[in-house]
Amino acid sequence: MRRKRRNHAPAFKAKVALAALREEGTLAELAERFDVHANQVKQWKEQLVAQSAEVFGASAETRKATEADIEKLHAKIGQLALENDFLSKALGR
């Protein structure tokens, strides 16, 4: 009988991936210890390694891009507010 599909918390995934990265045991040993499949441990480890660059700086680049987008959106909101005021006055409301 198959077990139901489980959703693991991000903290649990990080814990397992860090244990695999530190080589605290073989994949099979870690899989048994954390009660997950060995392939899952391997995938989480690879995902941790691939996304580790975001921890050390990619987020700063993303933050700058987001701030620029926010400034553009604020300018657009101001423009639309002026247009609404003008049109409401022109229509006599």
Q: Could you tell me the pTM of the whole model? A: 0.58
Given a cut of 80, is residue 93 above it in pLDDT? no
- In the chain, alpha helices (H): 10-21, 27-34, 38-50, 58-90
User: 46-73: per-residue pLDDT in tens?
Assistant: 999 988 877 776 666 777 778 889 999 9
User: Model confidence over 28-53: pLDDT tens digits?
Assistant: 999 999 999 999 999 999 999 988 87
Angle of helix 27-34 relative to helix 38-50, nearest 10 degrees, comes to 100
Position 68 scores a pLDDT of 86
Query: For residue 75, what are its two tokens?
Result: 């300018």
Q: Please check whether residue 45 is in contact with residue 36, taking contact to mean a CB–CB distance below 8 angstroms.
A: no
Q: How many residues are present in the chain?
A: 93
Q: What is the pLDDT of residue 65?
A: 78
